[in-house]
Chain A
Amino acid sequence: MWVKLILLLIFCVMILGAVHFAPAGKSEPESSSAGTVYSLRLLTWNIGYAELEDDTRAHDKDLPAVAEVIMRHDPDAVALQELTGNAQLKTLLGLLHGKYRGAVAQKGTGDRFEAVLVKDTGATFTPVTVGARYAMGASFRPRDGTRQLVLLSAHADAFNAARRRTYTEALIDWAQARAQSSEVFIAGDFNFELKAANETNLYTDDLKHDSESYSHILRYFRDLGRDAGDTAINDRRIDYIFGPSSLEHTGRVEVLRDAAVGRMDHWPLLVEVGF
């Protein structure tokens, strides 16, 4: 009898221990402190559709909704991915009532384009060649007297982790070369599959390539949206905004989960930073 009583007692202690040490629910991200002035607000959004659609690039009918989100959140610069081309960019700039200037990247081996929109009228746009693909960079000053910033809109290969790695290496080389004279931000859809718990294999080359790519970026940049959660359907965090490691203040970091329209499979990621 005493054995059973002791076992019952230990069982109760274990249950109480499990309740006592239960991790607290995720707390809300810290709100910005009153003394910090956030001088930059960035947004990245892959506005393309999910794989099941005939045309997975951005759809013209969704552009008013995209413009509405941009106007509502008023970012200083926006990185967009999967536009069909310059015509869509022009339509979008029109819907933004001339508040933004923008440019699309050159066409690479794929059928879709990256684009950057910035508020600064003096912004300059630079196409960036990254192997067989292209990214789009914009140099601008969000406020008068602030340091020049560069925002890169990037989109890494969706189907091949080795190609994502090569792309990331070239992109970081380009960014590092400019980091001496400007604060560089890289935003876009990198398609990194880093949730190993979702993999059925214990160790795969694809997982390792994505790990190498992400770790390489983190050597020089900070992942500003790390705590914001998934950015695409199927619990994937594949859209990122990377900023200089020296950044001291980050304010609002949010995935705008009510923003997607039609069959979009990504949500926009919004990040506020201060210098």
Chain B
Amino acid sequence: MLTLLKLELEKLFRARSFYLSFIVLIGFVLLMLWGFYTYAARKTGGQAVEQFKYTYESKQYFNGLTFALYSLLFSFTLLLPIFVSMSAGSQIAGEARAGTLRMICTRPISRASLVLSKFLVTALHAALLLTFFIGLNLIVGLIFVGWGNLELYPGPLNLVDAPGKIMRDDALMRFGYAALSGTWALLVIAALALLCSVIFESPVQATVMTIAAYLTLYIVGRVEFFEHLRPYFFTTDMDFWRDVFKPDIPWQSLWHYACVCGAYTIGLLLSTVIIFERKDIVT
């Protein structure tokens, strides 16, 4: 199993898509920095100040931690799931497309171990992506925007229902928690993509199917017609990761949704193992 893991890690670090995902995230952070800078400049001077007498959007509000939070919340919904799907979707189907899957399966290793090692490597990729993204946002925020406390208001970001504040050091700790809770939530996508990777022969097909399923449930969950179905979508449960940014973390609810996401991940992984073991590999 350890040798398998080592081999899979080598493959991951040699893949161009691995580095591409980090480059795209750097691009996104730069875009966010430009947007945040210009928005902050607009909202703390000129017409905005003339129009309204009171605002919480002061220079103290627009700090590096606020920048990192906005950047993370905006990207988590749409950007990170794409890279996780790409990474997981290419694991088995990629080998099948390259013609190496058959050869790997003739070696004296169980198919379950192979699936498990590929999933662990994908999980590592997801964790590295999220940790890198959070770290980069915090560093860029510190250098270009400056430090301060994390101020939260009802409405935007939908985190609190009354104004709240997280002190700087505590807020930094919360970003650390977010790296863990966010990775755990992304594992649901990784497990789904790995299942698709076993079912479909092409990595593109596996990735597209995963993203399609994710986006469909995400969008449908936001349409009021399907309000009663919303609690049954894994996309709803995945949202638990943001709770670490609430001034008082709702631990019970967080553990509940973490377990639900864990059940989705392990359930999908178990299905993947069962299907893969019965699969006739002809490529």
User: Hey, which bits of chain A sit against chain B, CB under 8 A?
Assistant: 3-4, 7-8, 10-11, 14-18, 20-23, 162, 165-166, 169, 173, 194-198, 200, 202-203, 207-208, 210-212, 214-216, 218-219, 223, 226, 234
Contact = CB atoms under 8 A, between A and B. Distances in A.
B22 to A, nearest CB: 23
Contact of B153 (A23, A173, A215): A215
Contact of B112 (A3, A22, A215): A3
A215 B154 contact: yes
A22 B231 CA distance: 13
Contacts of A218: 162-163
A16 B262 CA distance: 11
Contact of A21 (B252, B267, B269): B252
B100 interface: no
A10 B262 contact: yes
Interface string B246-283: 00001011011111101100110110011000000000
A202 B222 CA distance: 11
Interface of B: 51-57, 70, 73-74, 77, 110, 112-113, 116, 153-158, 161-163, 222, 224, 250, 252-253, 255-260, 262-263, 266-267, 269-270, 273-274
B155 A214 contact: yes
A196 B74 CA distance: 13
B156 A215 contact: no
A4 B266 CA distance: 10
A11 B56 contact: no
B52 A169 contact: yes
Contacts of A14: 259-260, 262-263, 266
A7 B163 contact: no
Nearest to A8: B270
A15 B256 CA distance: 9
B255 A17 contact: yes
Contacts of A207: 155-156
Contacts of B156: 196, 203, 207-208, 211
A207 B262 CA distance: 33
Contact of B163 (A4, A23, A215): A215
Nearest to B255: A21
A212 B55 contact: yes
Nearest to A226: B161
Nearest to A16: B259
B52 A166 contact: yes
A23 B250 CA distance: 10
Contacts of B116: 3
A211 B262 contact: no
10 contacts: A10-B266, A11-B270, A17-B256, A17-B258, A166-B52, A169-B54, A196-B158, A215-B153, A216-B54, A226-B162
Secondary structure type dominating chain B contacts: helix
Given A11-B267, A198-B224, A216-B54, 7 more contacts: A11-B266, A14-B259, A15-B259, A22-B256, A23-B253, A166-B52, A203-B70
A4 B77 CA distance: 31
A48 B70 CA distance: 39
Contacts of B255: 17, 21
Contact of A194 (B51, B155, B258): B155
Given A194-B155, A208-B155, A226-B161, A215 B262 contact: no
Contacts of B110: 3
A200 B157 CA distance: 12
Contacts of B259: 14-18, 20-21
Contacts of B250: 23
A194 B160 CA distance: 10
Contacts of B262: 10, 14, 17
A7 B270 contact: yes
Contacts of B53: 169, 173
Nearest to B254: A21
Contacts of A21: 252-253, 255-256, 259
Contact of B52 (A173, A212, A215, A226): A212
A22 to B, nearest CB: 5
A242 to B, nearest CB: 12
A211 B153 contact: yes
B34 to A, nearest CB: 15
Contacts of B266: 7, 10-11, 14
The 8 closest A-B pairs by CB, nearest first: A211-B155, A196-B158, A17-B259, A3-B112, A21-B256, A18-B259, A14-B263, A14-B262
A216 B253 CA distance: 29
A220 to B, nearest CB: 11
Contacts of A223: 162
Nearest to B52: A165
Contacts of A215: 56, 153-154, 163
